[in-house]
């Protein structure tokens, strides 16, 4: 299996299509998605366009859904919640569909939604996603980072490298044997540097520094930096809809 890493949605090839794609947005969309589903949300519907989100959400009774969204790291006005994994408490999200729009992560999911097998990953569920990938029969996998408005993201690359290492270890193989491009090899090397202290890496990243300037996000950093704290794998059931599949 060859794994290629694309650090932003904009860098994803427009003509090729792999057998599977894994979307990463450590700070914070894919971390938030994982915790929402773990805590009982029935589905996460992702939107890059806010008007489309609001129109879709309006079709469900209020007690059956939540609107979650941010731009620039801050909660959107009129939305029920922002994009914080620690806010996805069971009492709030259980039994509800979440309509989610974020600055970067939801764009990345939409970019690959036509691929047959799509999952989301964060540092929290590296092992669970790696096990799913190891079961695939496909030859080509893309890992897609969300970046920041088209630019490189340190924390997404860290998780991409962690995912490759975890998958290769589970197969009893060397990570290098699965690297499909230089970006993947670089991400694998980055993981080796920060694997014992990932939260520090998140805080050093450009987006991590942005979040720290906005407010006290210590709880989010602790959550987002907790490697293998979740056993769930959010997977796409229909284009733009993520849930826990059997």
> Could you give all domains of the chain from N- to C-terminal order, each with its CATH number?
2-243 (3.90.1560.10)
Q: For position 195, what pLDDT does the model report?
A: 98
Rounded mean pLDDT, 87-100: 98
Quickly list DSSP for 90-135.
Answer: HHHHTT-EEEEE-SSHHHHHHHTTTSSEEEEE-GGGHHHHHHHHHH
Q: For position 142, what pLDDT does the model report?
A: 98
Q: For position 94, what pLDDT does the model report?
A: 98
Residue 82 has pLDDT above 90, yes or no: yes
Question: Which DSSP category does 238 fall into?
Answer: E
Q: For position 15, what pLDDT does the model report?
A: 86
Q: For position 138, what pLDDT does the model report?
A: 87
Cβ proximity of 157 and 123 under 8 Å: no
Rounded mean pLDDT, 131-149: 95
Cβ proximity of 50 and 76 under 8 Å: yes
Percent of the chain with pLDDT over 70: 100
Cβ proximity of 210 and 73 under 8 Å: yes
Q: For position 16, what pLDDT does the model report?
A: 86
Query: Omega before 28 cis (within 30°)?
Result: yes
**Encoded tokens for 206:** 């450009």
Q: For position 146, what pLDDT does the model report?
A: 98
Round the average pLDDT of the chain to a whole number and report it: 97
Please give the Cα distance from 217 to 106 (Å, whole number). 21
Q: How many CB atoms lie within 10 A of CB 46?
A: 26
Rounded mean pLDDT, 177-205: 98
């Amino acid at each position: 299996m060859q794994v290629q890493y694309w650090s932003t949605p904009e860098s994803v090839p427009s003509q090729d299509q792999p057998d599977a794609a894994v979307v990463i947005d450590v700070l914070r969309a894919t971390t938030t998605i994982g915790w929402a589903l773990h805590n009982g949300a029935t589905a996460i519907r992702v939107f890059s366009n806010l008007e489309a989100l609001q129109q879709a959400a309006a079709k469900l009774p209020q007690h059956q859904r939540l609107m979650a969204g941010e731009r620039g790291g801050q909660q959107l006005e009129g939305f029920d919640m922002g994009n914080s994994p620690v806010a996805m408490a069971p009492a709030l999200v259980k039994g509800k569909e979440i309509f989610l729009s974020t600055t970067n992560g939801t764009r990345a999911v939409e970019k690959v939604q036509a691929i047959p097998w799509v999952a989301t990953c964060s540092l929290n569920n590296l092992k669970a996603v790696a096990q799913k990938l190891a079961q695939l029969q496909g030859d080509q996998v893309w890992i897609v980072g969300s970046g920041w408005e088209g630019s490189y993201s340190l924390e997404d690359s860290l998780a991409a490298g962690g995912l490759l290492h975890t998958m290769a270890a589970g197969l009893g193989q060397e990570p290098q044997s699965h690297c499909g491009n230089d970006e993947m090899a670089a991400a694998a090397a980055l993981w080796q540097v920060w694997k014992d202290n990932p939260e520090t890496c998140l805080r050093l990243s450009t987006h991590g520094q942005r979040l720290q300037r906005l407010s006290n996000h210590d709880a989010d950093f602790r959550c987002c930096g907790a490697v293998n704290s979740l056993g769930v794998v959010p997977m796409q059931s229909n284009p733009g809809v993520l849930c826990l599949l059997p």
